[in-house]
Structure 1
């Protein structure tokens, strides 16, 4: 059990850097960081086409109890993303339209939760972006202490307050606050490389040649044969 605490003065990533990361998709950011930072494919968007980035305000709760989400709302700032986990698996609908209303008016860009949400149609209509591991009408209580703005485990990664959350139709990726500038530089380099490859493919070049994959196929024992020879060998 983590100590019940609410940390009030977290250090956030600069908003200009957050905005710059928001221009890149989760796949690009993940690859740019060396294929790390993904909580897992279970974090799915409830909407289509949303693409956000923001500073993490973290919440550690008990299953079926949203008390600490209420406490976290007091700590958010414009440009934040609320990130919620529980100390054991939960699918209960811990978050809905009323929470989203309170967060949206404070400039929060979205929610990532390792639990359930409800009021999904309302959340879509109001344009509040959510990535969750479940959707459930099951309600919750407000009775158990947890923590706000401490490092939490979200799926496969650790999220610290002030880390940058990037989320889109492909899922969620977490960029540690200390890695933001390096990740931005790597994203830009990757986009330049992809642009060159895209142009080459439009001109008819094959990936086998552009990425020099033919020697690899050969080293792995992959042979080119005609269909007739293949069928003859199979007899």
Structure 2
């Protein structure tokens, strides 16, 4: 039977909020290159990075009823993750539902289907990452689930997991791992900052990252053009 789970446990807010500072690429790398949703999920307008806790829902084909049901379960700091049960491109989401979610403090929507009212959503300042943009409308006839584990963008999302999204894409951080991932992101940025100083001084990645020995061990040779041409 379709269900709505009303009392999900969310990832710790302060740590989740910090993920937006690091961005998707850093978070993805820091947690062992896991959690990245399929690249088909793109922002409908270019905006800032966001992070928040996942409220999930499943969507029958061409039916956005459960998005309306899920809005009631959303609270300040959440990101709604909507997962169709089959490939879908209709415009499940537009400016009116965006207004509801923004009023409730929701930070964005991740939907593996279509979105419409792009100009209005940008003016509203409500960010959406979607599979497609499509004006085709939906109906409200068939039930789904809210706050159950879903597969969105070919990645598993559990209710209460942390989500980070920016112009690079969308990444999921399991609820129990958020504090650990924040520490790993901080360490990664410290390392990148140190490398950046050396790059700005004119050094190459080959030397800063000690690549030459490994390249030689793999058999890479440097030769002159005359040597290459056999003269």
Q: Which residue matches 1:6?
A: 4
Residue by residue over 1:87-126, the C-alpha shift from the partner in whole angstroms, topping out at 9 and shown as x without a partner, is: 1100111000011001010000000000000001111111
Deviation of the 1:220 alpha carbon: 1.9
The TM-score, its normalising length taken from structure 2, stands at 0.97
The TM-score, its normalising length taken from structure 1, stands at 0.96
Q: Which residue matches 2:76?
A: 78
Question: Is 2:65 the partner of 1:67?
Answer: yes
Q: Whole-Å Cα distance in 1 between the matches of residues 220 and 33 of structure 2?
A: 27
5+ residue gaps, structure 2, are: none
Q: Whole-Å Cα distance in 2 between the matches of residues 202 and 94 of structure 1?
A: 47
5+ residue gaps, structure 1, are: none
Residue by residue over 1:9-51, the C-alpha shift from the partner in whole angstroms, topping out at 9 and shown as x without a partner, is: 1111122112112211100000000000001111101111321
Deviation of the 1:208 alpha carbon: 0.8
Q: Whole-Å Cα distance in 2 between the matches of residues 116 and 232 of structure 1?
A: 58
Q: Which residue matches 1:115?
A: 113
Question: Is 2:168 the partner of 1:170?
Answer: yes
Question: Is 2:98 the partner of 1:100?
Answer: yes
Number of aligned residue pairs: give it. 231
Q: Whole-Å Cα distance in 2 between the matches of residues 121 and 49 of structure 1?
A: 13
Mean alpha-carbon deviation: is it higher for 40-49 or for 73-82?
A: 40-49
Question: Is 2:39 the partner of 1:37?
Answer: no
Question: Is 2:193 the partner of 1:195?
Answer: yes
Residue by residue over 1:105-153, the C-alpha shift from the partner in whole angstroms, topping out at 9 and shown as x without a partner, is: 0000000000000001111111100100110001001001100000001
* RMSD over aligned Cα atoms: 1.0
Q: Whole-Å Cα distance in 2 between the matches of residues 173 and 156 of structure 1?
A: 11
SS in 2 for 1:115: strand
SS in 2 for 1:141: coil
Q: Which residue matches 1:20?
A: 18
Deviation of the 1:176 alpha carbon: 0.5
- Moved segments of 4+, more than 3 Å: none
Residue by residue over 1:55-106, the C-alpha shift from the partner in whole angstroms, topping out at 9 and shown as x without a partner, is: 1000111111001001001111000000001111001110000110010100
Q: Which residue matches 1:155?
A: 153
Q: Which residue matches 2:45?
A: 47
Q: Whole-Å Cα distance in 2 between the matches of residues 134 and 218 of structure 1?
A: 46
Deviation of the 1:173 alpha carbon: 0.3
Is residue 49–residue 165 contact of structure 2 (8 Å, CA) maintained in 1? yes
Deviation of the 1:161 alpha carbon: 0.7
